[in-house]
Amino acid sequence: MYREITEHIGCTQAEYFAMDGISNSDVNLFQRSPYLYKAKLEGMYSSPVSDPMRMGSAFDCLLLEPHLWVDQYIVTPLGMDTPTTSKQVGLVKAMRSGLDMQECFTLAGYARPDPKTFHKLKPYIDFLADIGSRTTISADEYSTLQNMLESVRDNPVASQSLQETTKQIVYTATHEETGLTVKGMLDMVGGDYVCDLKTTGEEVSRFPRKIWNYNYDRQIAHYASLAGVDVCRFIAVERGHLNEVDVFELHIDRVESGREKMHQALLDIHASSQDGFKHRAHFYSTKWKLI
């Protein structure tokens, strides 16, 4: 499926995101909306970062690249009020722009100003001004991350994967049929397998259905193709109160199915690029969307 596979040794996350190439996240965006994908290519759209995504990225860093933690994350002081709703997140963004109170609440979608909320979040605004581009993690969230970390280390199969793999390897390659450049940052690569770290808000026993619901099979099969292996594994960690861990390995048939899904997605992206990304993916195969 891929040729001209290249490993980029020492590539940072910032360099990876700036690198040309279609990632699994790009495929997700294209399948969600070709218009949004085109906007991203033109620098007009960036995907929002949800709290689960922020916590997942923080856990990846803490477990896989702990030496980068202090440069990328900071824990807010215990007891400091932080935004707890989407409106408050919008309010924080408005407050950081230097607008007055009335303008801040209007921009954040409030019907009227709430001075109590404004003054409650002011220390957090001052804190953000001093930390640069680092991502904030609350004290409670950091405690959860530490519990998750210990759960992984206490699981003998998961901990063995951590010990015997190379972390955060970046690859690029060329898709043979379309000539498109693809890329991937792989969490863990062993001698004959790839392993992806996933966090979940549900019990880990329910994780397998997420593999299909969120196309994780396509993602890890893409990674396996880049690394030149066939064995695909997941370490799933619960973000909830138990912070349980479980490990999963895809059957080879599922791996091949995931590869086919990635191959078809790249064919669709290439076809869509020829007409300015006007149509959704199913237009190029079935015309009508099969449901």
* Burial annotation 180-206 (CB, 10 A radius, 16+ → b, else e): bebbbbbbbbbeebbbbbbbbeeebee
Residue 34's pLDDT is 94
pLDDT at site 77: 94
Tens digits of pLDDT across the chain (291 residues):
999 999 999 999 999 999 999 999 999 999 999 999 999 999 999 888 888 999 999 999 999 999 999 999 999 999 999 998 989 999 999 999 989 999 999 999 999 999 999 999 999 999 999 999 999 999 999 999 999 999 999 999 999 999 999 999 999 999 999 999 999 999 999 999 999 999 999 999 999 999 999 999 999 999 999 999 999 999 999 998 889 999 999 999 999 999 999 999 999 999 999 989 988 877 877 777 777
Neighbouring residues of 18: CB distance < 8 A, sequence distance ≥ 6: none
Q: Which residues pair with 198 in a beta bridge?
A: 236
Give the pLDDT of residue 276.
Answer: 92
Provide the 8-state DSSP code for 290.
P
Dist. CA 184–CA 173, nearest whole Å: 9
**Which domains, from first to last, does the chain contain?**
2-45+150-284 (3.90.320.10), 55-142 (no CATH)
Cβ atoms 189, 225 nearer than 8 A: no
Exposure on the CB side of residue 161, measured as CA atoms within 13 A: 26
Distance of CA 258 to the CA centre of its chain: 18
Separation between Cα atoms, residue 273 and residue 60, nearest integer Å: 33
Distance CA(191)–CA(168), nearest Å, equals 15
CB 209 within 8 A of CB 188: no
